[in-house]
Each structure stands twice: as structure tokens, then as C-alpha cells.
Structure 1
Amino acid sequence: MDYVAQMAQKTCQEILEFDKSIRFVGISKNNGKFLAGAFNTDVEYLVDKEEYKMSLHYAHMRWDMRKKLSYKIGNPLYAFAEYEKIKQIGLPLNDNDLLLISLNPDADHEKIIKFVREKMGK
């Protein structure tokens, strides 16, 4: 594992440890490829690891679409989706990489978003 991937893995693990309601933290590169991820082993998985990677890829595609109007409305700060069984947050790490966080439905997503944005210096 190269240095960038090691640092990405460390970041995922630190975010995962912030709150027990976090199910998964992953980072994808600008091409939608999986870079790093950390799984909460205390929760039941709803999808397998390959499906998490696929979810990360699709989140990156949606993020790229959100950026299309940024020249008019500003850059997206984060994206949030609530499903019946999980919540999902997408945040940009930089111009190329995206952080995806999967949460339990009862999670305080605003607290987690604030923590991650502060950790990233935003």
C-alpha cells in the first residue's frame, strides 16, 4: 500500500471511530475507483464489500454531476441522502477525491458532518 493509500485508510479509520453509528467510511479517487475504506464490525452488513465499493463509485458519479453548475451556484459542500435503512453522506476531500460515510438511521448526521468538515479544515 502506498503512502497516499495509507493516509486515506488512516483517515477512514479515524472517522469511523468518532461515532458508533457510522457503518462505513470510504474514499474514492476522481475516476470513481476505491482508494480506502473502514467498516464497523459491530453492525450487520446490508450489502457486501464489493457493493460498498460500487456505492462509492456511484456516489462519485453523482458528485461530479453536482459540480456541473458550481460556476453559477458555488461548489457543493456535502451531499446527504436518507434511506429506510441507512443515511449516507458524501463530502469532497479535495478537487478529485470523495469521502462517503454510511450511517445507521438514528445517527446524528449533522454532528458527524461537522466533525468531518472540521477535521478536513473546512
Structure 2
Amino acid sequence: MTVDYEFVYTFSEELLNLDNSLRWIGISNKYGVLINVEQREGLKPFMSEEENEEYAAAAISRYRTRIKFQTKIGKLNYAVGRYENVTRITIPISSDYFILLTIDKEKNYDDIIMKKIIPFIDKNRNRFHSDNL
């Protein structure tokens, strides 16, 4: 699985600029390894790089437990964890790649995800296949 880091970097930067409430974006592979991370300029992160790596692995593991129910309840659009300080979201791009992101806690995450992020992913989804990266 070869990664086109230039594409992933550009994709991450453009995604981060879709809404000013987006704090942090990570692109993870299917093993939970972060292949790129971007954060809002001037942001003081809540978690360290190592903690974000651990979070990514756990988020992908949780996703894997959910897919067994897809035949009954439909494909997962995104999963949310709403914390006191931030909202964390996992969005599958393909079976091989995932977006992990954080949004400021006071924002309506569903509108941001469904009206901005998902359409942006859909425009670029074909680039996220193992043979394209």
C-alpha cells in the first residue's frame, strides 16, 4: 500500500479549511496508523502526538466492531464522541482509510459533517484506494 503523501497533505489542508470550527484532522489507515495530521493554526492541542496515535488505533478498532451490523442497520456515515471540551468524529473514507477529526464543542457537528465534510470526501473518495495512494 503506497501512500501519495502530497495528495493526503493537500486533502487534509483543504478539509481543515472547510469550517473554522474544525480543530484537528488525522488521516488513518485501516490499521489505525495516522498517515497525516493537521491542526488549526495557533491551536493548543488537548492530546499529545502519542495520545492521538493511541486514539486513532482505538477508533479504527471500534469501527471494525460496528461493521458487522451494517447489513441490518446500514453503512456507518460517521461516529461521534462528545466530550466536555471537544467533539471527536470518525468518518470512514474507504475500507482502507479513515478521517478522525475534532470540532469545537459548541458547534452543530451534524450540519458540518453532512453538508461540508461528507460532500468533500465524496469528491475525493476515488483517490483513497490502495492502488491510488
For normalisation by structure 2, the TM-score amounts to 0.81
Structure 1 runs (4+) deviating above 3 angstroms are none
**Aligned equivalent of 1:97:** 97
Amino acid at match of 1:110: D
**Aligned equivalent of 2:127:** none
How big is each residue's C-alpha offset from its partner over 1:16-50, in whole Å with a ceiling of 9 and x where there is no partner?
11222211011111111111110113222111122
Where 1:46 maps in the other structure, the secondary structure is coil
**Aligned equivalent of 2:54:** 54
Higher relative contact order (CA 8 A, sep 6+): 2
Establish whether residue 15 from structure 1 lines up as the match of residue 35 from structure 2: no
Q: CA RMSD in A?
A: 1.7
Structure 1: any 5+ residue segments left out of the alignment? none
Q: Measure, in 2, the Cα distance between the counterparts of 1:22 and 1:83.
A: 15
Q: Measure, in 2, the Cα distance between the counterparts of 1:94 and 1:3.
A: 14
Establish whether residue 108 from structure 1 lines up as the match of residue 100 from structure 2: no
Where 1:121 maps in the other structure, the secondary structure is helix
- Compute the displacement of 1:97 (Å): 1.0
Asked if structure 1 preserves the Cα contact closer than 8 Å seen for 2:18 and 2:117, the reply is no
Percent identity (aligned): 23
Structure 2: any 5+ residue segments left out of the alignment? 124-133
Establish whether residue 120 from structure 1 lines up as the match of residue 121 from structure 2: yes
**Aligned equivalent of 2:29:** 29
Asked if structure 2 preserves the Cα contact closer than 8 Å seen for 1:88 and 1:101, the reply is yes
**Aligned equivalent of 1:72:** 72
Q: Measure, in 1, the Cα distance between the counterparts of 2:57 and 2:5.
A: 17
**Aligned equivalent of 2:87:** 87
